[in-house]
Amino acid sequence: MNAPANTNSLLERAPVMIRDWIIGFFPESLRWPVGALLAIAAMLAVFGLVFAFLTLAERKLLGRAQNRPGPNRSGLPFFRGTKLFGLTQPFADAVKMLTKEDIVPRAADHLLHFLAPVLVVAFALMTFAVIPYGRQLVAVDIDAGVLYFFAAGAATELAIFMAGWASHNKYSLIGAMRALAQLISYELPLLLSVVPVVMLAGTLSPTKIVEAQANVPGGLIPHWHVFTPWGAVGFAIFMVAALAEANRSPFDLPEGESELVAGHLTEYSGFKYALFFMAEYFGMIGLTGMGATLFLGGWQAPCAFLEFIPSYLWFGVKMLSLILFMMWIRATLLRLRIDQLTRLAWKFLVPLALINLGTAAFWSRTDSWSGPLQFVRWAIALALIVVPFVVIGRRLTAGLAPRTYRYAT
Amino acid sequence: MTDPEIASPSAFPEPSVLATHSAATVRPVHDEFHGDLLEVSMGPQHPSTHGVFRMVVTLDGEVIVKLKPVFGYLHRNHEKLGENTTYLGSMPYTDRLDYLCSMTNNWAYALAVEKLAGQPVPERAEYVRVILAEMTRLVNHMCLVGFLFNDLGTSFTPLLYAFREREKFIDLFESLSGSRMMCNFQRFGGCRANPSPEWLGAVSKLVDGFPKFLDEYEQLLTGNEILLARTQGVGCLSPELAVQAGITGPMLRASGVGYDIRKADGYGIYPRFDFRVPIGAHGDTYDRYMMRILEMRESVKILQQALRDIPAGPVMDPKSRLRNFRPKPGEAYGRIEGPKGEIGFYLISDGSPNPLRYRVRAPSFVNLTVIEDMCLGRTVADSVVILGSVDIVLGEVDR
Amino acid sequence: MTAALILIALLILGSTAVAMSLRNLIHSALLLVLSWMGIAAFYLWAGAEFVAFAQVLVYAGAVSMIVLFAVLLTRRSRADLSIAPASLRRAVAGVLAGGATAGVLTLAVLRTNLQIAPSAAPTVTVQQLGLELIGPQVASVLVVGVILTVALLGAVVLAASDRNDGKEDAP
Amino acid sequence: MLGTGIIKGLAVTAKNFVGSFYDPARLVTVEYPEKQIPIPENYRNFPFLVHEGDDPIATLRCVACKICENECPPQCIYIVAERDEKGKVLKKPKIFDIDIAVCMSCQICVEVCPFDAIKMDQHFEIAAGNRFEGLLLHREQLAKPNSYYQKIHPTEAAEVDAMLTAMKARQAAEKSAKAKPAPATQTPPPAA
């Protein structure tokens, strides 16, 4: 790992210096717990704010895409006339959510009804522990970090089931069953799209994966995984599966408001509903963070001379651009039906991910090719991916095409 | 009160009855291995049933086994009221039938009364009526397509694009008749006011820009794979069943039966305009959606021709009487091709200022009767989309 | 450290014991999942991170779903199951079975000579695990692979037989 | 190919998103209390009574003929004519109530009124504290000057005034013709 000159630039090392400065006040035995608590506090603060302003960004983006300005009325409590373009809207929403009455249906299973939102947010937050936000900015550097990330992600299904079951209501039950079917069937393509990255990087630890994507000094094209044929397809599959895991737009079936009112969230109100809402956004932040780490080179700058910008800013830019892409998808696409959704996962994404595994193997084997062979290598790899994509794609949408119509005489 | 027929599962009719009734083969209700059926009531307060309409859906897993539509929540006794007010008094109430297209309702009622009383209509009024009817067709189809995609799960984007265009038409209605949706503009023997040249100019400018909006709308939606997957092959309606059930309008044409009252009856001055009637082939939700899009394009053609050669002159027949209007005893049935289908008014007059019998043939009500046949064997999500494609307005269904 | 160890052991035993006694099946299923989490904590304490996360991913993620779905879908048959009144014969049978299994277990534990490991077990990195699996153990990995695919195919056949007597669902 | 339809859709939303920043056609919301949409001239909301002179009640055009009360479909108008001390009915409404909770502003009363005494107003911000007294408008609240009528419906008011002055002139001419050759001709009753 080369050590370019900027690792000692002030901005780059600022967070680590602050942490060491604060830890300095504590005796040796307390150093570790205080460091951990500091990391937790920092993450909660940063991601709490990011969540708040993401809700505002989503409503503004959705509004602007629909030819309306989006929320711009909320001002400050004591300065009556000021219009702040909606910047205080998230805090207004937070106050509203806190003051709303929290109704628990009489027949509901009170313990599970209370536990579900807590667990959903807990597991969503646990996934933040392993994502490398900056050069030394990773809360816990575990050897099997990627596996930990997906283990915590998989546990949220449990909490969603609890929510659906505890509400003791027909709609919530159908919503919970749908949510589980969706989450389980999309966990497979999610994991399978990550396997080539682990295979090529040779490790499960996120920090090492990011270092594997470092740039050659002076090189202009970034060495991110997304700029390889298998990486691009893997990233596409990862993003589609991430949309499904976070219950986002084309797959927001569980709370398909047009059919099942609000799915497993029907019987929740007030702060518990806000917790589910927060968990969905944390899930989105976590998945896009991990997606950026695995495919877009985490906190790596695109090319060597751009590295004077601190690494955590690069990570922020990549993560936010992925989140904005998810919001853009939400402004456009329709919702899939439950059987189409699972059919897309099992009959399209899983086979493609397996073929992608093969292409990645081919790619790693042919590392030594150079010169003209490089184009041949790209051509073969692309053919290995695109041909099955077109074949399976055509079979999936057999008989579905915009039709031409005749007219009565 | 619990409807006894729904409450106890044992009261389901034998599957054999259902089988003959519709194409879907229905499993015996209580066999041990498949578990019991789940009965879900969707509505009347449901976010996607377009008003107070309820569907009692019996689910086997996700698949609908039985669907019982329940409506009548918005019944306002429209027809009995019609018998107690004068002919003119009923005109503003026709706005409240299908509150999305008040101009076509007014025209159908005016047509019926003119047939009853043999009232001639001046030339310019005929052109104004055609222009207003086709503008209403555009407004209604935009609403339908917008709401259909809202049921499909887009977060309001197509609906707001459609409503942005609809607002422009509604503002024109307001500047002509005084109210956006409750126009009350047609009278027996013509229209209430004479549209000014500026108004006609604004209409033609808006109509000329409309195809550009439609192209952008189709680019957003028609090729979308998810839309194709969600709507093609969903809620198929066979032409035979459509004809037997008396379905009219875009739903009938989507099933392949090319019946359009504008061509069949040739009422008003429609024979003067050349326009085509699109026909579907599969009768599924996608065809119904495309019918509306293609009909909008045809309506734009009609509007452009009508605006081009509208004559000057009065819009109200001088001999028409507003008060103590007593048509000679007899009966008449006036019908037009409303955006939702054939809307007709059947009047019996006994010479008094109030009609003896005032009957409204509402297209949404008739089109709704086949909802169960289209939804059997589909999932809950599909039933909402199928209901959206039928295009019902509860004001017209319940009257 | 041993305090944490005892705490986790108590958590596992406690949750399984309560799970056995509860009437509400869903609660007991969820307590079972809690005990699995306890086992994952044990692995973590032993330094085997990979196995701990695999345990959480497989058990808490997937197996718990299967258990809960099973409990959910067989809810109906539970109503018909009439539990016979508590008779002496059943109590005796229960105690006998319990005693036999307890005896076998304690014998096995006593018989094996557990040396207390002098130092913490060496932390095995994932790479070594991978090489070990693909290297000498590749046969067992392939056998497990075959078993899983057979199980998957069995599930597909079962589901397919259920589907073709219902109405063929258009794409 | 599989994804093209979706990509085209995304392009449309992107165009609208970007367009909303510079193209007025793509940002159509009018922020109501601050900015108001100009009301078209023909807009009608609830009826009001027109009066000529400065004293609203005395110079009402309405002659309490109750035609509008009979023709109003939801029957929301209630008129009681003025009577002098001998009980003879005067051509002035003592009570003229419109329950605007019931009125659906269909303006049939305006069409059937032979004296152009009732016209449609354009005032739509009428929240009231109470559903019964608050929305039952009496003669005093309904009466508005003719100048107000000319302000909100200029073209229509101009026609009405022209027609009224013409009729007055015709009546004056007949009266003078009748006064000069007193017994000569019997003037036809004014058209009902």
pLDDT digits (tens, 9 = 90+) for A117-141: 999 999 999 999 999 988 888 888 8
Say if the Cβ atoms of D27 and A69 lie within 8 Å: yes
Question: Measured between CB atoms, does B45 come within 8 Å of chain A?
Answer: no
Q: Beta partners for B349?
A: B330
B19 contacts in C (CB within 8 Å)?
none
Candidates A155, A162, A204; nearest CB to C61: A155
Q: Which residue do the tokens 């969820």 mark? A: C30
- How many CA atoms does the CB half-sphere of B216 hold within 13 Å? 16
Say if the Cβ atoms of C169 and A112 lie within 8 Å: no
pLDDT score recorded for residue B20? 41
In whole angstroms, give the CA distance from residue A212 to residue A297.
8
Question: Measured between CB atoms, does A232 come within 8 Å of chain C?
Answer: no
DSSP-based three-state secondary structure for A285:
helix
* CA dist list (Å): C111 to A30, C115, C116, C160: 43, 12, 15, 49
Instruction: Judge whether D56 and D140 are in contact, CB under 8 Å.
Output: yes
pTM given for the model: 0.86
Lookup: tokens for D107: 């303006």
Say if the Cβ atoms of D6 and A397 lie within 8 Å: no
In whole angstroms, give the CA distance from residue A109 to residue A168.
7
Alpha-helical (H) ranges within A262-365 are 270-295, 311-332, 338-344, 350-365
Q: Which residue type occupies A287?
A: L
Q: What is the mean pLDDT of residues A3-18?
A: 71
Question: Measured between CB atoms, does D179 come within 8 Å of chain A?
Answer: no
Question: Residue C75: pLDDT band by 50, 70, 90 thresholds?
Answer: low
DSSP category for residue D31: -
Minimum Cα–Cα distance from C162: chain B residue: B34
Strands B357-361 and D47-51: unpaired
Q: Which residue do the tokens 């502003």 mark? A: D105
Domain segments of chain C: what residues?
A: 1-82, 86-113, 124-161
In whole angstroms, give the CA distance from residue B319 to residue B314.
12
Question: Measured between CB atoms, does D6 come within 8 Å of chain A?
Answer: yes
**Is the Cα torsion angle A341, A342, A345, A347 positive or negative in sign?**
negative
Mean pLDDT across chain A, nearest whole number? Answer: 86
DSSP category for residue B315: S
Lookup: tokens for C33: 């999942």
- How many CA atoms does the CB half-sphere of C65 hold within 13 Å? 23
Cβ count within 10 A of residue A270: 16
**Interface pTM (ipTM) of the complex?**
0.83
Question: Measured between CB atoms, does C131 come within 8 Å of chain A?
Answer: no
Stated as kind and residue range, the H or E segment containing B359 is strand B357-361
Cα B321 off chain centre by: 31
DSSP category for residue D64: -
Question: Residue A1: pLDDT band by 50, 70, 90 thresholds?
Answer: very low
The helix/strand count (H/E) of chain B reads as 17, 9
Q: Which residue type occupies C143?
A: V
In whole angstroms, give the CA distance from residue A395 to residue A377.
28
Q: In this predicted model, what pLDDT tens digit does every residue of C130-159 receive, in sequence order?
A: 888 888 889 999 999 999 999 989 988 887
pLDDT score recorded for residue B197? 93
Work out the angle at residue A23's Cα, subtended by the Cα atoms of residues A17 and A28, and round it to the nearest 5 degrees. 135
Q: Beta partners for D145?
A: D51
Cα B320 off chain centre by: 30
In whole angstroms, give the CA distance from residue A135 to residue B392.
60
Instruction: Judge whether A335 and A260 are in contact, CB under 8 Å.
Output: no
Chains D and B: 3 or more CB pairs within 8 Å of each other: yes
* CA dist list (Å): C43 to A67, B167, C33, C36: 55, 65, 15, 11
Q: How far is B376 from chain C (nearest CA, A)?
A: 10
Q: Which residues of A209-229 are buried (b: 16+ CB within 10 A; e: fewer)?
A: bbbbbbbeeeeeebbbbbebb
pLDDT score recorded for residue B23? 38
**Is the Cα torsion angle A20, A26, A27, A31 positive or negative in sign?**
negative
Instruction: Judge whether B104 and B261 are in contact, CB under 8 Å.
Output: no
Stretches where chain B sits below pLDDT 50 are 1-28
DSSP-based three-state secondary structure for B149:
helix
Alpha-helical (H) ranges within B55-122 are 78-84, 87-95, 102-117
pLDDT score recorded for residue A262? 63
Candidates B25, B36, B234; nearest CB to C167: B25
Q: Which residue do the tokens 């165009």 mark? A: D15
Name all chains with 3 or more CB-CB pairs below 8 Å to chain B: A, C, D
B179 contacts in D (CB within 8 Å)?
43-44, 105
Longest alpha-carbon distance in chain B: 76
Considering just the CA atoms, what is the radius of gyration of chain A in Å? Answer: 23
Cβ count within 10 A of residue B339: 28
Lookup: tokens for A220: 């202009």
Topology given in CATH for the domain delimited by C1-82: Four Helix Bundle (Hemerythrin (Met), subunit A) (1.20.120)
Q: In this predicted model, what pLDDT tens digit does every residue of C84-127 receive, in sequence order?
A: 667 788 888 889 999 999 999 999 888 887 776 655 666 677 78
In whole angstroms, give the CA distance from residue A180 to residue A200.
31
A390 contacts in D (CB within 8 Å)?
1-2
Question: Measured between CB atoms, does A361 come within 8 Å of chain C?
Answer: no
In whole angstroms, give the CA distance from residue B82 to residue B165.
34
* Nearest one of B342, B335, B360 to B267, comparing CA atoms: B335
* Helix, strand, coil shares, percent, chain B, to 5: 50, 15, 35
Candidates B95, B175, B220; nearest CB to D42: B175
A64 contacts in D (CB within 8 Å)?
16-17, 20-21, 27
Q: Which residue type occupies A63?
A: G
Residue C82 confidence (pLDDT) above 70: no
pLDDT score recorded for residue B31? 52
Residues in chain C: 171
Say if the Cβ atoms of A151 and C54 lie within 8 Å: yes
* CA dist list (Å): D86 to A11, A131, D82, D90, D92: 100, 97, 11, 11, 15
Mutation target to probe the B interface, by most B beta carbons within 10 A, among C71, C74, C167 is C167
pLDDT score recorded for residue B4? 42
Residue A236 confidence (pLDDT) above 90: yes
Q: In this predicted model, what pLDDT tens digit does every residue of A259-296 receive, in sequence order?
A: 555 678 878 888 888 898 899 999 999 999 999 999 99
Q: What is the mean pLDDT of residues A43-64?
A: 92
Q: Give me the tens of pLDDT residue by residue for chain D, a chain 192 residues long.
A: 778 888 999 999 999 999 888 888 888 888 888 888 888 999 999 999 999 888 888 888 899 999 999 999 999 999 999 888 888 888 888 999 999 889 999 999 999 999 889 999 998 888 888 888 888 999 988 899 989 999 999 988 888 889 989 998 999 999 888 877 655 444 444 444
* Nearest one of B195, B184, B203 to B102, comparing CA atoms: B184
Strands D47-51 and D143-145: parallel
pLDDT score recorded for residue A118? 93
C69 contacts in A (CB within 8 Å)?
180
Q: Which residue type occupies B375?
A: C
Residues in chain D: 192
Category of B351 on φ-ψ map: left (φ > 0), alpha (ψ -120 to 50) or beta = left
Lookup: tokens for A83: 């219009």
* CA dist list (Å): A73 to A49, B372, D26, D28, D34: 20, 46, 20, 17, 12
Q: Which residue do the tokens 């409807």 mark? A: B3
Say if the Cβ atoms of D73 and B90 lie within 8 Å: yes
